[in-house]
Amino acid sequence: MLLLALDTATPAVTVALHDGTDVVASSTQVDARRHGELLLPTVDRVLAEAGLGLDAVTGIVTGTGPGPYTGLRVGLMTADTFGLALGVPVYGVCTLDGLAYAADIEKGPFVVATDARRKEVYWATYADSRTRLTGPAVDRPADIAEQVAGLPAVGAGALLYPDTFPQAHEPEHVSASALARLAAERLAAGEEIPAPRPLYLRRPDAQVPKNYKVVTPK
């Protein structure tokens, strides 16, 4: 097994290789505006660090969000393209699940919250690092304050809104290493991991103008 994992659902552009036993190479850069520019060079760098070619990969793991429309699509389309080119399966893992898996919280329940912009967070609750209880959803922090009161929290969304998440912890962003380890664990246990489907949770910011002027002849 050689899993290539990647995620662009948060400001982190993150890539890792997992050989079925552990992560053998990884790289993460945080830049919310350069997902498309950074992802492929990061893949090349991780493969070079491991001394392997892309043709050695036997499966692709990609974070499915939730996340902003444009950034999330970069990772999903890249994963699908690699899968088609290599003829290998592509597995989708919720980005929040990757953050929960990496969280250093011994006992649940706890919350994972990432920055959804527009003064909102993408969030979910977990019984432990592997078991999601609710979500994912997108809401204003103040609107969910009662639901998450008293719970530890991880993620950039939790760190941004300490009034709602006073017990905020690292990690801030997801890592492909955590996604790869979680996917490898699920596969080893015989669990079925679905094909990637984006968790947008809301419509994209870009919209077709409603009253644009028609310039083509009738």
Q: What is the pLDDT of residue 105?
A: 84
**What are 164's two structure tokens?**
């709602």
Token representation of residue 171? 């990690």
Please answer whether residues 61 and 91 qualify as being in contact, where contact means their C-beta atoms are separated by less than 8 angstroms. Answer: yes
What is the strand order of the sheet 90-93 is part of? 23-30, 12-18, 3-7, 59-63, 90-93
pLDDT at 211: 62
Separation between Cα atoms, residue 178 and residue 97, nearest integer Å: 9
pLDDT of residue 8: 97
Q: What is the pLDDT along the chain (218 residues), one digit of tens a residue?
A: 999 999 999 999 999 999 999 999 999 999 999 999 999 999 999 999 999 999 999 999 999 999 988 899 999 999 999 999 999 999 999 999 999 999 988 788 999 999 999 999 999 999 999 999 999 999 999 999 999 999 999 999 999 999 999 999 999 999 999 999 999 999 999 999 999 999 998 755 555 556 656 556 65
d(Cα 169, Cα 164) in Å, to the nearest integer? 13
**Residue appearing with tokens 């948060």:** 10
The per-residue DSSP string of 166-178 comes to TTEES--S--HHH
Beta bridge partners of 117: 120
The H-assigned helical ranges of the chain are 35-50, 69-86, 95-102, 145-148, 156-160, 176-188
Eight-state DSSP code of residue 213: P
Tell me what pLDDT residue 216 has: 63
User: Would you state the pLDDT for residue 108?
Assistant: 80
